[in-house]
Amino acid sequence: MQMIEVNGIKKYYKVAKRDKGITSSVKHLFHRNYQVKKAVDDISFSIKKGEIVGFIGPNGAGKSTTIKMLSGILYPDEGKLQINGYIPYKQRKQYVKNIGVVFGQKSQLHWDLPLIESFELMKYIYKIPQNLYEENLEKFTKLLDMENFINQPVRQLSLGQRMRGDIVAALLHSPEIVFFDEPTIGLDVVAKEKIREFIKYMNETEQTTIIFTTHDMQDIEKVCDRLIIIDEGKKIYDGTIDGIKNKYANSKTIEILLENGEKEVKTFDINKTPMNEVMEGLFSKYHIKDISICEPEIDEIIRDIYEGRVALKTTDGKVGEI
């Protein structure tokens, strides 16, 4: 079942254009010239019920604009989108009852209220039945270890505690789709892992469809099944994380432990030298006790893509389809 269908959506912005100099500044006060910028340029994709999809791109790529269209905040200037049977920007009131949104840099909790009272307010806003509210609250509180601070005012919570509270607030009404925007930003390793585990649990047990935007590629690797990359408003990759590693990793590193106890590290370009040639060369040159092959980190591959060192082209010439 396709939960999300996006077909050729585009979004334009008018940006005021002004030349340098005092004269131009004065003219700009009375007569403004605009240039049209494409924030999102003909993006299409579909997402099945229960998928966790990482949606990433460099700053200014258009991902936030796309997410705002998916969540119903903005409307597309061209193209169509339908999510769970709704057109978000046309049926916003009905639609938002079925989604959850978590913004890592913007809280929906009330600063001076105890956390539990923010949850009670969410129950009222979403008209959550009492039995569902109590069931979800108890389950989420235990899973996210919130018993010790659920009665504290939000302003007294640490960043990790507040983020856990924001996640619970977004999920209390059991939404079928959740948008996570940088949910682990600024958190320590333990807090990040707890949130990742919780997201995976919700997906596996409730079949919640999740779209995950982040700059932390560890989030993507540990949480997402699929990755969509956009740049300059266009989709440039749509496929698995293993697929992007296998296709666009340009190098591998071999760590060698020699019989005399010394270590050697060799990096080679897999496009220029076959693995069997590398191994033959190493065994002919060294007395090797142990050997390990290290795959490149996903962060390195994504950085190469953003900086244009990797061309995302398949054999049939299509961009990013794997």
Task: Say which CATH number the domain at 214 has.
Answer: 3.40.50.300
pLDDT of 31 over the 70 cut = no
More confident residue, 319 or 194: 194
Q: What is the pLDDT of residue 273?
A: 77
* Residue 311 counted as domain residue: no
Q: What is the pLDDT of residue 312?
A: 59
* Residue 20 counted as domain residue: yes
Q: What is the pLDDT of residue 314?
A: 39
**Got the DSSP string for 154-169?**
GGGS-HHHHHHHHHHH
What total number of domains does the chain contain?
2
* pLDDT-based confidence at residue 21 (cuts at 50, 70, 90): low
HSE, side-chain direction, 13 A CA sphere, residue 269: 2
Least confident of 18-27, 65-74, 117-126, 152-161: 18-27
Domain that holds residue 276: 251-295
- Give the integer Cα–Cα distance in Å for 171 and 137: 9
User: What single DSSP character describes residue 319?
Assistant: B
131 and 266 share one domain? no
225 and 240 share one domain? yes
- DSSP 3-state of 94: helix
* Residue 190 counted as domain residue: yes
260 and 153 share one domain? no
Q: Convert 23-65 into a string of H (helix), E (strand) and C (coil).
A: HHHHHHHHCCEEEEEEEEEEEEEEEECCCEEEEECCCCCCHHH
* Residue 300 counted as domain residue: no
Whether the Cβ atoms of residue 55 and residue 213 lie closer than 8 Å to each other = yes
pLDDT of 175 over the 90 cut = yes
More confident residue, 183 or 304: 183
* pLDDT-based confidence at residue 171 (cuts at 50, 70, 90): very high
* Residue 199 counted as domain residue: yes
66 and 135 share one domain? yes
- Give the integer Cα–Cα distance in Å for 267 and 245: 16
* Residue 303 counted as domain residue: no
pLDDT of 317 over the 50 cut = no
Tokens 């994504």 locate to 302
* Residue 60 counted as domain residue: yes
78-83 β-sheet, strand order: 33-48, 2-17, 78-83
182 and 231 share one domain? yes
Of the candidates 285, 292, 305, the residue with the CA atom closest to the CA atom of residue 252: 292
Q: How far is CA 283 from the centre of its chain?
A: 42
63 and 136 share one domain? yes
Q: How far is CA 193 from the centre of its chain?
A: 15
- Give the integer Cα–Cα distance in Å for 134 and 113: 19
Q: What is the pLDDT of residue 286?
A: 84
